[in-house]
Amino acid sequence: MSEQTPRAPQGAEHAVLEEQIDQWRGYVQRRRAITPADVDEMEDHLRGQVADLTASGLEDDEAFLVAVKRMGNLDEVSREFAREHSGRLWKQLVLVPEEAGENGRWRELGVVLALAVASGIWVKILLDAAGTDELVLVRNAVFAVLPFLAGYFAWKRRVPWGVSAVLLAATAALALVVNLYPFVEGPHGDPGMTGFLAISHTPVVLWLLLGVVYAGGAWRSGPRRMDFVRFTGELIIYLALIALGGGLLIGLTFGTLSLVGVDFEPFLGEWLLPFAMPGALLVGAWLVEAKKNVVENIAPVLTRVFTPLTIVMLVALFVALLVNGPLTAVDRELLILMDAILVLVLFLLLYSISARDPLAPAGIFDWLQLVLVGAALAVDAVALTAMLTRIAEFGFTANKVAALGLNLVLLVHLVWAAWLNLGFARGRRPFADVERWQTQYLPVYGLWAAIVVVAFGPIFAFA
Amino acid sequence: MHIDKDLVAASATPLVLGILADGESYGYAILKRVNDLSGGRMEWTDGMLYPLLHRLERLGYVQATWGTSDVGRRRKHYAITPAGRETLAERRRQWAVVSDALKQVWQDVQPGPVVAEGWA
């Protein structure tokens, strides 16, 4: 606003006064309850006062001081503003501008909605083509949705055509692998071991490919990778909220329609969900993009809440595993659960790092994180020894190798992160080292997931 | 003279509405008018005028528009609305009652230094 304010004609002799008024403006503007328009109004007042005082013989700086003094204690004034406009203390997200002339945001929403509808049509086609073979749908759903999300970012970030072409080729290759490999199916039409692994690991590969588009092609840049991590966390939270709201709407519609004898289910499954799910993803991504610098990230707040709770959980698990051992009877499910726990710990670590001020000195929370990672590693070590003895006894299967491999990938990530974190907490390393390791390691997950998708089929005879 | 802040707060709304009833005005001019009317004895904290004006705007007693000053600076003008005039009339009746009652009290009380300090 202040840029649009026409400045009064001023001679060089008032330069000091102008500077003082600018400083005052900046000082007032820091109060959240006072908007720039209010500051404009008060500045007009201040200038009127200064003009009158100088006309009566005061020097510029004297007049300024008197005028500021008469304006009153800013804390009290700002409290009064806050009492009048309590809503201003809550940041409001303006998604599309109210003023005419700024058509960019509307156009962006148009692009997002068009892509969402296109993705919905694609899912619908897939649904009809799959018929009774649900596996076709499960295998391809992610290919029908994520490329459209990538399309949004490619459009927004003006990603070079070359990069887009390479990514599309990689996506197409993955789609071919997943669909053409002769995976053996289970007895009831459910996927076999390697088939299931391929289906569950493709989203990871595609998500990291999406990261390349999100970074506008600059995927080697650590800060851009961290941005993608932040985006992912916020998107998950927004999607959960949208799903909650959508679920409520569907439930109310379902209940009401069933009372008057209309069966809502065919429409829900055939039309609503195929369009609603990609729509939620794209709109969620658009919301996260729009709110980026307006609303505080929520994922780091959640990590603060859950880090201490997770430590308690891990210590309880550690004791339970030790007391109830030996763990000879446990199945690979333990390994999968351990992977899930390590992923959770990793998320807690990653999201608190993503929000940390790199220049702030190490504090109690950094030590808490160290305890968290240490506890996770201890629990994992107990489970892993049990699993290794069992694997040595009964041999490898695709599932065990996949779970074990992921466990190792996570272990390397966490052990080194703990080491760097310890160095930082003791003041031996800058925080940048901790942050850089997190972003450097991310592609390893994509690589591992790609290996599981592409190589596990042939290695384990598509069992 | 220092005037108790509760008294300032109670009289502020009718004063501002009364000034605006004479014609539309803006923040600094309203404040100057208050000073003139009280002969400089009523000193308001300038900054407090704006939350008050915004409250009157929210209640629909005044209407604000952005204009420009003589030197081309953005300036917010306030004009009284019919609802504001009604409120002003109502406040005027209330103040008349209070002021009548006070006048009789002043006549009964013997002015003296001790009492005067007690009221200060």
The residues, any chain, with a CB within 8 Å of residue A119's CB and separated by 6 or more, are A144, A145, A148, A149, A278, A279, A282
Q: Where are the alpha helices (DSSP H) in A292-397?
A: 299-323, 332-355, 364-394
Of A6, A42, A48, the CB nearest to B47: A42
Tens digits of per-residue pLDDT, B77-87? 999 999 999 99
* Predicted confidence (pLDDT) at residue B120 exceeds the cutoff of 50: no
Written as six digits, the tokens of A201 are: 């690991």
Q: Is the pLDDT higher at B118 or at A121? A: A121
C-alpha span between A214 and A202 (Å, rounded) = 18
> Chain A contacts of B58, Cβ < 8 Å?
84
Quote the pLDDT of residue A5: 45
* A42 to chain B: closest CA residue: B47
Say yes or no: A64 contacts chain B, CB-CB below 8 A.
Answer: no
Q: Which of B73, B75, B78 to mutate to test the interface with A (most CBs of A within 10 A)?
A: B73
Q: Under an 8 A CB cutoff, do B46 and A71 touch?
A: yes
For chain A, positions 420-439, list CB contacts with chain B under 8 A.
none
C-alpha span between A377 and A368 (Å, rounded) = 14
Q: Which of A38, A44, A69 to mutate to test the interface with B (most CBs of B within 10 A)?
A: A44
Quote the pLDDT of residue A88: 67
Tens digits of per-residue pLDDT, B87-102? 999 999 999 999 999 9
The CATH number of the domain holding residue B111 is 1.10.10.10
C-alpha span between B15 and B92 (Å, rounded) = 10
Count of domains observed in chain B: 1
Number of neighbouring beta carbons within 10 Å of residue A250: 15
The residue assigned the tokens 């703990």 is A418
C-alpha span between A192 and A186 (Å, rounded) = 5
Written as six digits, the tokens of A40 are: 């404009």
Q: Which helix (H) or strand (E) holds A177?
A: helix A161-180
C-alpha span between A253 and A248 (Å, rounded) = 9
Written as six digits, the tokens of A161 are: 């055509």
Say yes or no: A81 contacts chain B, CB-CB below 8 A.
Answer: yes
A245 DSSP 8-state letter: H
Average pLDDT, chain B: 86
- Rounded to whole angstroms, what are the CA distances from A445 to A48, A196, A345, A407, A448? 64, 18, 15, 11, 5
Q: Which long-range contacts (CB under 8 A, 24 or more apart) does A164-167 make?
A: A164/A213, A167/A209, A167/A212, A167/A213
User: Amino acid identity, residue A457?
Assistant: G
Quote the pLDDT of residue A248: 95
Number of neighbouring beta carbons within 10 Å of residue A24: 19
Q: Which residues of B37-73 are buried (b: 16+ CB within 10 A; e: fewer)?
A: eeeeebebbbbbbbbbbbbbbeeebbbbeeeebeeeb
Of B27, B58, B73, the CB nearest to A5: B73
Q: Under an 8 A CB cutoff, do B51 and A77 touch?
A: yes
Q: Under an 8 A CB cutoff, do B74 and A5 touch?
A: yes
Q: Which residues of A355-384 are buried (b: 16+ CB within 10 A; e: fewer)?
A: ebeeeeebeebbeebbebbbbbbbbbebbb
Say yes or no: B70 contacts chain A, CB-CB below 8 A.
Answer: no
Strand partners, B67: B75
Q: What is the 3-state secondary structure (H, E, C) of A324-343?
A: CCCCCCCCHHHHHHHHHHHH
Strand partners, B66: B76
Q: Under an 8 A CB cutoff, do B45 and A85 touch?
A: no
Of A6, A42, A81, the CB nearest to B72: A6
Quote the pLDDT of residue B113: 55
Number of neighbouring beta carbons within 10 Å of residue A68: 19
**Residue B94 lies in domain:** 5-119
Quote the pLDDT of residue A9: 47
Among residues A24, A40, A37, A36, which one has the least CA distance to residue A74?
A24
- pLDDT by residue, tens only, chain A of 463 residues: 344 444 444 455 678 888 888 888 888 888 877 888 888 889 999 999 999 999 999 888 889 999 988 888 888 888 888 888 776 666 665 665 555 445 677 888 899 999 999 999 999 998 888 777 778 888 888 998 999 999 999 998 888 899 999 999 999 999 999 888 888 877 776 778 888 889 999 999 999 999 999 998 888 888 889 889 989 988 999 999 999 999 999 999 999 999 998 888 888 888 888 899 999 999 999 988 887 766 667 888 888 899 999 999 999 988 888 887 666 666 667 778 888 998 999 999 988 888 887 777 888 888 999 999 999 999 888 878 877 877 777 777 888 888 888 989 999 999 999 999 899 888 888 888 888 999 999 999 999 999 999 998 888 888 7
Count CB pairs under 8 A between chains A and B.
Answer: 74
> Chain B contacts of A84, Cβ < 8 Å?
51, 54-55, 58
Contact (CB, 8 A) for A141 and A123: yes
Q: Is the pLDDT higher at B22 or at B3? A: B22
Of A37, A44, A70, the CB nearest to B27: A44
| Strands lying side by side in the sheet with B62-68 | B25-26, B74-80, B62-68
Give me the torsion for CA of A55, A57, A63, A67, rounded to 10°.
-60
> Chain B contacts of A37, Cβ < 8 Å?
76
C-alpha span between A4 and A7 (Å, rounded) = 9
* B28 to chain A: closest CA residue: A45
Quote the pLDDT of residue A333: 77
Number of neighbouring beta carbons within 10 Å of residue A348: 25
* Phi, psi (rounded to 5 degrees) for B67: -130, -160
Q: Which helix (H) or strand (E) holds B76?
A: strand B74-80
C-alpha span between A191 and B76 (Å, rounded) = 69
Say yes or no: A49 contacts chain B, CB-CB below 8 A.
Answer: yes
What is the pTM assigned to this prediction?
0.71
The residues, any chain, with a CB within 8 Å of residue A408's CB and separated by 6 or more, are none
Say yes or no: B45 contacts chain A, CB-CB below 8 A.
Answer: yes
- Rounded to whole angstroms, what are the CA distances from A80 to A67, A69, A227, A303, B84? 19, 17, 38, 35, 21
Contact (CB, 8 A) for A146 and A170: no
The residue count of chain B comes to 120
Quote the pLDDT of residue A3: 42
What value of ipTM does the predicted structure carry? 0.81
Q: Under an 8 A CB cutoff, do B50 and A38 touch?
A: yes
Say yes or no: A48 contacts chain B, CB-CB below 8 A.
Answer: yes
